[in-house]
Amino acid sequence: MNLARSHVWGIAVLVLALAGCNQNTAETQAPETTPGPVAQAEPVTPPAPEVLGPAPIPPSTEMTVNSVDSVMLSRPEDSPSAMIIRVLGTAASGGWSLPKLQPVTDAGTDASIVSYQFVATSPEASDDSNTAAERLETELRVDSLAPDVMTIRIVSATNEISAPVAQ
């Protein structure tokens, strides 16, 4: 019986050994067939638009002055119904000339407000070195102002100032 048991044990050991030989260990294991990196198309990004500064102003062009700084209203002694409008403003660069006030005509606006646009003529030659702001001053005499006008409004490219009309 011992002999039969030893055969059974021998067969069992042999079966286990064969079963163990068929097992792959981490060192001998074939690499798994995982898909490699898939080539993907890079998203096409359009080139960034160029950041351009403002378009150059053509020489001798009449344009709105950059800002209006002050408005002063006065009545001349010789004509109490007239009004003198003095305006001080700033051009964005040097060389501007012929500052003046142009009436603004808006349909359907309040009749108690009269508006003017502060304009000047750009330099005759483009001078990139003359970028310092320039102070401009102008004066307009209005010989007859309607009695219902209560406010004078001066408009520039970046702001506006209103002044009350003293009766």
The mean pLDDT of 78-99, rounded to a whole number, is: 92
Residue 142 lies in a domain: yes
What pTM was estimated for this model as a whole? 0.64
- Contact by Cβ (8 Å): 158, 67: yes
Q: Lowest mean pLDDT: which of 3-7, 79-83, 97-101, 118-122?
A: 3-7
Across the beta sheet with 134-142, the strand order is 67-74, 83-91, 134-142
Residue 66 lies in a domain: yes
Residue 76 lies in a domain: yes
167 compared with 130, residue with greater pLDDT? 167
Closest listed residue to residue 149, CA positions, set 131, 135, 128, 167: 167
- Asked if residue 36 has pLDDT above 80, the reply is no
Closest listed residue to residue 100, CA positions, set 72, 139, 67: 139
Q: Give how many domains the chain has, as a whole number.
A: 1
Q: Lowest mean pLDDT: which of 20-24, 98-102, 136-140, 162-166?
A: 20-24
Residue 19 lies in a domain: no
Residue 34 lies in a domain: no
| Angstrom distance (rounded) from CA 12 to CA 24 | 21
Torsions phi, psi for 21 (to 5 deg): -70, -25
130 compared with 67, residue with greater pLDDT? 67
Residue 8 lies in a domain: no
What domain range includes position 103? 62-164
Residue 31 lies in a domain: no
- Asked if residue 46 has pLDDT above 80, the reply is no
> 131 pLDDT band (50/70/90 cuts)?
confident
Cα torsion 19, 22, 28, 30: sign: negative
Residue at token pair 């501007």 = 96
Residue 48 lies in a domain: no
Q: Which helix (H) or strand (E) holds 5?
A: helix 2-21
DSSP label at residue 141: E
